[in-house]
Structure 1
Amino acid sequence: MASHPPVTPNAAQSAAPTDGGSSAVVVSAAIMALALLGDSLLYVVLPLYAHEFGIGLAWVGVLLSANRLIRVVAYGGVAALGERIGPRRLTLIAGVLAAVSTLLYAVGDGGPVLLAARIVWGLAFAALNLTTLVYAVSRTGRQGRSVGTSKAVASVGPVLSLSIGAWLVTVIGPRDIFAILAGLTVLAIPLSLMLPAAHPVAGRSDRSILPRPTRNDLLGFIIGFGIDGIFVMTLALILKDVVSMESAVIASGLMIALRRLMEIVTAPIGGVLGDRFGAARMVLLFGGLLCAGLAGIAAGLPFMGACAVVLGHGALVTLQPVLVAQRNPGAVMNRLAVLATWRDIGAAVGPLTAGLLAARFDLEAIYAPLAVATLVMLVWACRPPGPKVVAAG
């Protein structure tokens, strides 16, 4: 791998937005909300209307996971591009890609075309995930509050798509709804021009497919593995032992929707607490709540446990990026890309592991060690970094 000049803190910070303040945080998050409209609804529509898209059920799993897999590969390159061209231009490119992918859901037929759309979306999301965080963490002293606001605004898109959009599917059909959503996503393009400019720099980014993780990255991995992977996949199975099968499906769907709604509520609160008391302390607090929820599920308290997991997770999606920014002020975009990569790896491995284990073990036997492993990683990640050794010269 070719070597790149090291990034000094001043040079790295010059890649951050130069002005805009809170308006840049809200605008970049609104762009993400618009971009997420099509992707969010696809998870509901595609399994039920696969034949309308010219595919079988075998393709559904491939298409719904393809965007996450492409992000694992692409985050390093996307971060490097963002360091060269700046976050505003990267957001503009991502807005165009998001609109194209959503339009392809409306007009594309067959697995290969839809797979191309999912790959395009994976690249768009990778870029937007980084730029929204970069605009938020650029506000020194208010990083937690800004990231919380950004997460809350961005979550409005999926909530509206999964409610109003899902209802419109029954009125106008599963294909035409994506044409409407594509038209709304196009609004992200002029919005991106409202973002503040930044000076691109030639930075050193880890372009390897599997970048070396820090303790915080490994915490992101286990949260992706346990919550985005195992918890989401097995929630209905957990609840069916308490209520009827039909009620379990409804309850699990509402619980997953509640996870998005909780991000709108808990992300800003967690961010404010992170600014006031320190991100590491708040990661430890809300991570402890998440671990308690996992332990509650293992102990036979599925509803209470699931609620605790959802609340803890909603705050952690804000606090972890803030912790990364505070510990890596000279390479924010690159380190956020590494965190996102390892979290996506965990979220991709989690469902596969759950499928293998759930057929052989009781769910309580899965959640108990998961709670312990998450707690151990949480405590390790939140320990303050040791002093850097400076060679005598």
Structure 2
Amino acid sequence: MTEIQAVLCGYYGKGNGGDEALLVSMLEMLPPHVKPIVLSAEPRATSKSYGVKSYDRMNSGSVVRALKESQVLILGGGSLIQDATSIRNSIYYGGLIGLARQFGLQTIAIAQGIGPVDKPLTRWIAKRAFSNCTALSVRDPASAALLESWGLSCIIAPDPVWSLAATPVPEIASIPSPKIAVTLRSHPKLTTARLAALTTALVDLQAATGSHILLVPFQPTTDMDIARQIRAELTDNSQIFTPTDPKQLKGLFQGVELAIGMRLHSLIMAAAEGCKCWAISYDPKVSKLMTEINIPGWELEDIPTDPVTITQAWQQHLQTGTHLNQESIRNIAKKSLAHKDLLTAAINNINGKSE
């Protein structure tokens, strides 16, 4: 087949373990004849880590050069167009799709989590951007329903990180059980009082169960301070882990009995590795996952004020709660490969038209 060059865009190079895992998943989905250019916040680090050509995502000259060198733009996974955090990302990705179309590129959006798009401008950007895509896949029913309300067809499949191969972390395997992984992130609603309640609950949970606490800041630039604050209150049976390899980050959850997480991909990785999970939802995407695979937990603003109540809930789930069985995990991972099938078909269609 004729070689095709594709620009991959997403929240890459920001040091977020979940988005880096999405990037690795996207790179593994590409057919052999497709050569990627990754738009990244840290292009040198991205090139070094993954062996790909990478350009600065915020340098307009670099972005234009990448588009002119390519035949397709791939919007690669995650909640890229939404206004829960900021409208700026929606403007960026919507503008990028529009620019790609001006240069004659085909545009493909894979494994999207769309919304919320509550602001009229965000909604207009989202509708226009996805209307310009030749192939669309989403990772949740709400995103599919939104596209369908705009008359756009898509496929729906679980997040690609479900099928990402995990690499074991030997130092985790050597830690005695029970092991509890904690992935908290900064957020305006994670107030000082709420963080204090969670920290006290973790201290009490450790004392009651003799567990080893693994603090995992998925995005160290924003999560590390919280991990250090909690670590200072725990016994020596606790550690902070910051794997930079997404496959190791997923492998960290192997053998972990309980994962307490705010980060969406921490919960996906943990569930995929057979952990019991407890969610603290700061975003609708986390709440959606809780519903889809029956993860217990709280909305961030509904965290109990009494640490004893929190500890008791966690301890009961550790002792009697359930996790996904291996058959369910395999089925979800298999379904997630539908994103790859759609991407392959869309690229082959582009290739066929160019031959």
TM-score, scaled relative to structure 2: 0.31
The structure carrying a bigger strand percent of its residues is 2
Higher relative CO (CA 8 A, sep ≥ 6), structure 1 or 2? 1
